[in-house]
Amino acid sequence: MSRKAYNMGDLESLHEFRRQKERAGRIRFLERDEEARLFAAIKSRSEDAYRLSVFLVDSGCRLGEALGLTWNDIKEHRVSFQTIISSRNCTIPMTEQVKEVIRLPPDGRRRSKGPFTKLSQAQFAAIWNEAKAGVGLGAEWQKRDEVIALKSGSSRFVFPLKQFVDARPADGTAELIAMFGDHRLAWKWLMTPTDKLGGNSPIDTLLAGTLADVVAAARLAVEHAPDV
């Protein structure tokens, strides 16, 4: 559209946009027994979170897409939703497992807007991470220093919930931990509003997807350590 306007003389120049490379993530596939243990741990904590977990695994939906489903999006053997990244409508078939976890209730008994609307992202993330830790799968992020872990008591660690997006640490968390060299110091800085980010807290800016701004502000904070 912009190029067409430029060719017609409506624009004096074209803006140049550079594609940013997406950092390679680490993919870890669960063995069948690990998945079974994890799902059992989730189910013991919340039936709704268990149903959502099954749906996410079988459908490939993102957490936000699944939480936004309404009963009108579910038709017999398929589910329709709007993708978060492209905002396109997508329709997928339901597996037998998915049919079990999102059975349509009778019209008169639909007390919620959708199958998973009773849960929030924060609630699900808390249950998911607690279950992972309970079955021995939650220590990997901590071992790789990719999650902020604050020591509580002699040997127990707590993981601040706000750092998680879709039940995993927000992008850039590991980089910030490395910059500050201390988890508690990094978390204190992340939670404190700063003029360098328009008066917003670094964690809110990070969750909004502007990692570069947060990293730049963190560098300045580290350079002036007494001000952190």
pLDDT tens per residue, range 5-63:
556 666 566 555 454 444 444 555 677 878 888 899 999 999 999 999 999 988 888 88
What is the sign, positive or negative, of the torsion defined by CA atoms of 55, 61, 65, 70? negative
The contacts found for 176-179 with CB under 8 angstroms, 24 or more apart, are 176/202, 176/206, 176/214, 176/215, 176/218, 177/145, 177/146, 177/148, 178/145, 179/215, 179/218, 179/219, 179/222
- Residue whose entry in the numeric block shows the structure tokens 């079990």: 100
Query: To the nearest whole number, what is the mean pLDDT of the chain?
Result: 81
Please tell me the least confidently modeled range out of 82-86, 125-129, 186-190.
82-86
Res 150 pLDDT > 80 = yes
First to last CA, the chain: 45
Res 4 pLDDT > 60 = no
Instruction: State residue 5's pLDDT score.
Output: 55
Average pLDDT over residues 60-89: 84
Res 104 pLDDT > 80 = no
Which structure tokens are listed for 67?
């939480």
Between the alpha carbon of residue 9 and those of residues 1, 17, 63, the distances in Å are 13, 20, 44
Instruction: State residue 192's pLDDT score.
Output: 93
Res 126 pLDDT > 50 = yes
- 131: enclosing H helix or E strand: helix 121-134
Report d(CA 119, CA 47) in Å as an integer: 11
Q: Which domains are present in the chain?
A: 32-138 (1.10.443.10), 142-224 (no CATH)
Percent of the chain with pLDDT over 90: 28
| Pairing assessment for the beta strands 156-158 and 150-152 based on DSSP bridges | antiparallel
Q: Are the beta carbons of 104 and 71 closer than 8 angstroms?
A: yes
Average pLDDT over residues 174-193: 93
